[in-house]
Structure 1
């Protein structure tokens, strides 16, 4: 007797696409799985599409398990999405601190943002650590023009030789913000 083949998320999406013009039996034969498994995937179409929308890894084979901290996880995920959209660097301790803050606001006293929680959160949401390259973020042209008018007043009284870029100072000696968590592509 052969071992049961479990389809990845990418393969389940493929099943949904194939179901538009093929029967469950034909899809099952093509993928080498049982007809019941294909029918179950078609029945859970909404869950599959939700996982795709929520950036779940395409290599994931099993359904997501509930942890009991879904409220906290959802808030941290929304916060993370917002912060990374603004191209701000995010570290593990920052994610843990944010999770603890949300837990405190929700009145969950038993929650601990452990390294195990962090690893599970990152894996569950398909988030990886990587090096940021290029500029830190785009700036709106209106903001640039506004600062161009303000800058001469701010720099008044200083000699040009005493004005530096931040990345030309010793403050960036131990700059670790080049590495940040981001969604895996």
Structure 2
């Protein structure tokens, strides 16, 4: 099988410029290219024809900037920008994490196989990829929560949503509430810092509080107080209940319930005590409410 001759972007531009003079036919261009580019054989007429057909695309892939010393040719492939954007969008849609190394590996493959860009034509560096990110408004961001773990369009998910809707249809919006907990790692150091040289990271502190939040009801007319779970039975900074409420109040004073457990996690006992208090409060108001919870063993 005859090996295909691949020309760089610079060589293709020189070939097009030579053809534009009107002094060469395609056969003569093949001979000229062999001498000018030091090829082992004359350039095939079909290859030349393909290059001539793509002249607009080839010229569109370069930017020429004039400096005080010389003309400088900057290589830019818009189709690779599009490939990066599409690749990232596809990975996001599939809920797969993607990093710079994965993008660079994919682009090298696409450039060589799909677009037949000669090796070395693209400067595969962090700087090159950063410019691609900037042009296409791509950023590395932290992901939060677990919402990406659920396919909301799946038949099973839609079936479960319908079941929940059927269970809640007899409740007024004000009587539908949601409760959840979150961990507050209050001693963890920041993940990023500004520095003059590379610094080592710090060991991540495991000290935490659990904050339980009974979020507002479905129509937004009710917000409950939070509960806080720590390890200490009687924290020294909160030597009295009045001091606890004063320190935790933001703006107008509000109520905070404090509990403790060995690892500052929610337990079945703490959750049961809290729910019984809620039950008494809503019973006094003669209200029957629906409380939505996640599938945790302590609930």
Fold conserved between structures, TM > 0.5: no
TM-score by length of 2: 0.26
Greater relative contact order: 1 or 2 (C-alpha under 8 angstroms, separation 6 or more)?
Answer: 1
- Greater helix fraction, Structure 1 or Structure 2: 1
- Greater strand fraction, Structure 1 or Structure 2: 2
Larger Rg: 2
TM-score by length of 1: 0.39
